[in-house]
């Protein structure tokens, strides 16, 4: 796992992750206790690299329940009756799994998530769809391909 963290640090050629603040071991342990089966890669990232906003505006944070997404102003706007009519969308039941935890966002209508039932996969929850799709097969791939913009895939 340490090699993966070092690989991420080395691939951050533009120092995009520099503003992130590592969480202490006790704090990370508390997150693991609150959310059993959460991604181990995500926990290692929190402890060794951290949370906060990258130099390119990607926000990485402690896990938040997916049900909080419905209170976000963008979700309310995108899923209002007038907006859905304007875009020709049909109102749907929530497509967001109840075991999903929001862990990052780019400020747009997307929220990146992990699931407790499938902890190795990172998902993208789109408030406009609303949709919930696979973004990456594991957290470190997500960091390399989505969080760090200046890396080669």
pLDDT of residue 153: 41
Per-residue pLDDT tens listing for the chain (153 residues):
778 899 999 999 999 999 999 999 999 999 999 999 999 999 999 999 999 999 999 999 999 998 887 777 777 776 677 776 776 665 555 688 999 999 999 887 789 999 999 999 999 998 777 789 999 999 999 999 999 975 444
Strand partners, 59: 53, 105
Q: What is the pTM assigned to this prediction?
A: 0.86
CB 114 within 8 A of CB 63: yes
CB 124 within 8 A of CB 88: no
pLDDT of residue 91: 53
pLDDT of residue 128: 75
Domains of the chain: 2-147 (3.40.1580.10)
Query: What distance in Å separates the CA atoms of residue 8 and residue 140, rounded to the nearest whole number?
Result: 7
């Amino acid at each position: 796992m340490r090699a993966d963290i070092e690989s991420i640090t080395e691939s951050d050629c533009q120092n995009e992750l520099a503003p992130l603040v590592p969480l202490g071991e006790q704090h990370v342990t508390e997150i693991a206790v609150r959310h059993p089966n959460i991604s181990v890669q995500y926990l290692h990232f929190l402890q060794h690299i951290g949370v906060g906003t990258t130099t390119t505006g990607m926000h990485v944070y402690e896990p938040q329940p997916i049900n909080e997404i419905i209170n976000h102003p963008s979700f309310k706007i995108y899923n209002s009756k007038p907006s859905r009519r304007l875009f020709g969308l049909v109102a749907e039941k929530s497509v967001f799994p109840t075991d999903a935890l929001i862990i990052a966002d780019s400020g747009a209508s997307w929220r990146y998530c992990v699931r407790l039932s499938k902890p190795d996969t990172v998902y993208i929850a789109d408030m406009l769809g609303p949709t919930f799709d696979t973004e990456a097969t594991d957290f470190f791939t997500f960091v390399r391909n989505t969080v760090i913009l200046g890396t080669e895939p």
